Amino acid sequence: MNERLPDPRLAADDGGSEQPFIDHLIELRDRLLRMVVAIVIVFLGLFPFANTLYTWIAAPIRAQLPEGATMIATQVASPFLTPFKLALVVAVFIAMPYILYQLWAFIAPGLYRHEKRLAVPLLASSIVLFYLGMVFAYFVVFPLVFGFFTSVTPEGVQQMPDIAFYLEFILKLFFAFGIAFEIPIATILLVAAGITTPAALENKRPYVIVGVFIAGMLLTPPDVISQTLLAIPMWLLYELGILFSRFFQKDAGARAQSDDDSPGDDDPPTGSHRPKSPKPPAGPGAAEIAVGHEIDSSDINDPERFRPLTDDEMEAELDAIEAEDLHPHQSGARVDASGSSAMPTAATDTLLYQANQHRAEGNLNAARHLLYRVLEDGTADQRRVARNILSDLDS
């Protein structure tokens, strides 16, 4: 009974679909173990200084306490467990870059080169912004909040904060401000993914202002000071995200045309294949090559093959398309210049009209997809309009 079991990595070539998924789970388990080991190592280095860490983290409130007042421990194990918990949380914060690196190493092989170029700076900036949010909370928010609480203490009440409740309070604020400082990253990702546009984000500004104050009310203690100190930076960071997202939207077309559909140095692993969108053409003539038409270089350079439309001609063509889209019963199948029957005119004109709408909304990939269909099935006039729109997108 010494039969040797087959190597799981070799069994993946047998056509089974489970094996690659198991390999991914094994890799994920290994990387999670590395994260845990990193946290434990940092924690072991910090634990001897746990009491010193707590003294430093409690400095903002101790500076605001009345003379002679001290912090107290109302539970038997608090003097040990509270610094222990603080050392563990600080270990997680310090190990966060390594933790995020392990997550990045797990998903990076399945990304294309342009996605890696976008993800690396956003990942690094998200770490920096999270730390900046914590620094802002410690040096700006804590003194103001604790000073306000001390000033409104009723007469005859001795303020002696409990060390466990204080740690829970400041960790909530650290997390709230760290997440709030990620707003520019979230805004840039939404625009870069084509989910929204900077103009649409600007139109939602009034709702965002109300929303950040509601978020400040939910994430911070029930006082106006901390709520305002969180809401105003969130709003300003939202505006900063809109500003930087304009550059990402402007460069999205150039990145997509360079090498967005070619994998990076590490090809996507088995089981993580993703559909590739057709690569945008380099010029008007090359657009037909992208959809499968066989033409030679002499046809591309033929001046009779393609003549750019003027702005007035383009508007006239689009108006005609819109009119035919509204009255499809007046349009039927027509024959192009080559004499071959094409797709019904109304259907192709609808594609052109929708592609132009996508172009106006900034959704360039969807516009190109529809234009390629027109180049395949449209008439000569429709293909001429499609080539002009593609040329405008590529310019």
What does the alpha-carbon distance between residue 133 and residue 175 come to, in Å, rounded to a whole number?
8
Token pair belonging to 217: 């009310």
Instruction: Let me know: does 287 contact 387? Beta carbons within 8 Å.
Output: yes
Q: Which amino acid is at 242?
A: I
Contact partners, residue 63, CB within 8 Å, separation at least 6:
143, 146
What does the alpha-carbon distance between residue 249 and residue 265 come to, in Å, rounded to a whole number?
25
Three-state secondary structure call for residue 341: strand
Instruction: Let me know: does 142 contact 61? Beta carbons within 8 Å.
Output: yes
The pLDDT score that the predictor gives to residue 119 is 77
Domain ranges across the chain? 16-259, 286-394
User: In the 8-state DSSP scheme, what is residue 47?
Assistant: G
The pLDDT score that the predictor gives to residue 333 is 43
What does the alpha-carbon distance between residue 232 and residue 159 come to, in Å, rounded to a whole number?
29
Three-state secondary structure call for residue 329: helix
What does the alpha-carbon distance between residue 330 and residue 323 come to, in Å, rounded to a whole number?
10
**59-97 burial by CB neighbour count: b if 16+ within 10 A, else e?**
ebbeebbeeeeebeeeeeebeeebbebbbbbbbebebbe
Sign for the CA dihedral angle at 137, 241, 183, 228 comes to positive
Three-state secondary structure call for residue 263: strand
Going residue by residue through the chain, which has 395 residues, state the pLDDT in tens, using 9 for 90 and above. Answer: 444 444 444 444 444 444 578 888 888 899 999 999 999 999 999 999 999 999 999 999 998 888 888 899 988 899 999 999 999 999 999 998 899 888 888 888 877 777 777 777 888 888 888 899 899 989 988 888 888 888 888 888 888 899 999 999 999 889 888 888 888 888 888 887 778 888 888 888 889 889 888 887 887 766 777 788 888 888 888 888 888 888 776 555 555 445 444 444 444 444 444 444 444 444 444 444 334 343 344 444 444 444 555 666 666 666 666 665 555 444 444 444 444 444 456 677 778 778 887 787 777 778 887 888 888 777 877 788 888 888 777 76
